[in-house]
Amino acid sequence: DRLPELLRRMPKAELHMHIEGSLEPELMFALAARNSVQLAYPNVQALRDAYVFNNLQEFLDIYHAGTMVLKTEQDFYDMTCAYLARAQADNVLHTEIFFDTQTHTGHGLSAATVINGLHRACADAPAKFGMTASLILCFLRHLSEEEAFACLEEALPMRDKIVGIGLASSELGHPPEKFAKVFARARELGFRLVAHAGEEGPASYIWSALDVLKVERIDHGVQAFTDPALMQRLVQDKIPLTVCPLSNLKLRVYPTLAQHNLGKLLDAGIVATVNSDDPAYFGGYLNENFTQTFAALGLNSQHAYQTALNSFNASFIDASLRQKYV
Ligand code: HPA
Ligand code: ZN
């Protein structure tokens, strides 16, 4: 069977990956030592053993604790380079990296420390890793819209280093409508817009991400399958879904990968892509998401080609440059 080899070797773009979720335990301990931060676990193995989650919130709590080791611009640069090296090994030609400034400003860092470190790695990506990388700032939806406005304001001096705005963190109880005004502002400022919707939350959150926030892509979006009218809308308007199968497995959105709906979404004509979400926590980088999911669902080379093509078509790469990739 040559499908796994095809999946690994095909050129692809990654559109849904939180950089703080790429922080491997080894680097976390190294940064903890460098910055004199005490971790709650005695060693790498004990930390990895704690990566068992029943839902999104249990993950977010551990993810948040891990970000405490990030202190300097160099830390953000080093973390991003580590991810880019892994992405290059998976034949990722382009990546759009999520980050959440508010996690770090909440620990006393400045937005500039975060964004400048991340951006320096993205700027080095073509020469160092043979790929392109851009940044998407995600507001934390468990915080208020007022706090999202403050976050946007603090990022504006670094406006040119950010391609888009997204929405992440605890979904249930924090519908997209909560951020209507700040997304409207981001839109006026010319940012590309995305939002997590329909991971644990209902299909109605996908509708409001589209119709209230006016996002161009939906992150996760797997719950769309419960709503035929929404499926029709997504197909008709070619709204991409950035699907993260191993994340959905680890956070128990689906009990097994064999029950994941990626194949059904693709067969329904949805512009679905495959992504790693938080690869250090969810058991695999991009190629691992592809190979495990395709095997579990019995997907074929046509699905492989479609998801790779979708990843470039759904990206925010300039239309004029897109032909370089596909
Ligand atoms: N979902 C929502 N917010 C997140 C995630 C996720 O999987 N990872 C990091 N922030
Ligand atoms: Zn995510």
| Cα–Cα distances in angstroms (integers) from residue 256 to residues 66, 91, 225, 260, 324, in the given order | 27, 27, 17, 7, 37
> Does residue 1 register a pLDDT over 90?
no
Among 199, 200, 216, 288, the active-site one is 199
Q: Does residue 24's CB lie within 6 angstroms of at least one atom of ligand 1?
A: no
Phi, psi of 42 (to 5 degrees): -70, -25
Q: Whose CA is nearest to atom 9 of ligand 1?
A: 18
> Does residue 87 register a pLDDT over 90?
yes
Mean pLDDT, the chain, rounded, equals 97
| Cα–Cα distances in angstroms (integers) from residue 245 to residues 262, 263, 286, in the given order | 8, 11, 10
What are the pLDDT digits (tens) for 187-215?
Answer: 999 999 999 999 999 999 999 999 999 99
Quick one: three-class SS letters along 146-161? Answer: HHHHHHHHHHHHHHHH
On the 0-12 / 13-18 / 19+ scale of CB atoms within 10 A, 4 is middle
In the chain, % of residues over pLDDT 70: 100
| Cα–Cα distances in angstroms (integers) from residue 287 to residues 9, 39, 101, in the given order | 9, 30, 28
Mean pLDDT value across residues 147-167: 98
Q: Does residue 25's CB lie within 6 angstroms of at least one atom of ligand 1?
A: no
Q: Nearest-CA neighbor of 241 among 264, 218, 224, 263?
A: 218
Contact status, residue 101 vs residue 111, Cβ threshold 8 Å: yes
Question: Could you confirm whether 199 is annotated as catalytic?
Answer: yes
Domain ranges of the chain: 3-315
Binding-site residues for Zn(2+): 16, 18, 196, 277
Please report the pLDDT score of residue 294 as a whole number: 98
Please report the pLDDT score of residue 323 as a whole number: 74
Torsion of CA 256, 287, 11, 117, to 10 degrees: 110
What are the pLDDT digits (tens) for 19-50?
Answer: 999 999 999 999 999 999 999 999 999 999 99
Q: Does residue 169's CB lie within 6 angstroms of at least one atom of ligand 1?
A: yes
Contact status, residue 1 vs residue 283, Cβ threshold 8 Å: no
> Does residue 267 register a pLDDT over 90?
yes
CA distance 32 to 190: 37
> Does residue 318 register a pLDDT over 80?
yes
> Does residue 54 register a pLDDT over 80?
yes
> 109: CA distance to ligand 2 center in Å?
22
pLDDT bucket at 322, cuts 50 / 70 / 90: confident
Q: Compute how many other C-beta atoms are within 10 angstroms of the C-beta atom of residue 154.
A: 17
Q: Nearest-CA neighbor of 200 among 55, 15, 62?
A: 55
Q: Whose CA is nearest to atom 4 of ligand 1?
A: 169
What six digits make up the tokens of 241? Answer: 């879904």
Pocket perturbation via mutation, ligand 1, pick of 196, 244, 253 by most ligand atoms within 8 A of CB: 196
| Cα–Cα distances in angstroms (integers) from residue 13 to residues 42, 131, 304, in the given order | 36, 10, 13
In the chain, % of residues over pLDDT 90: 97
| Cα–Cα distances in angstroms (integers) from residue 78 to residues 19, 46, 55, 324, in the given order | 11, 23, 29, 28
Judge: domain 3-315, CATH 3.20.20.140: yes
Pocket perturbation via mutation, ligand 1, pick of 58, 252, 277 by most ligand atoms within 8 A of CB: 277
> 255: CA distance to ligand 1 center in Å?
18
Q: Does residue 219's CB lie within 6 angstroms of at least one atom of ligand 1?
A: no
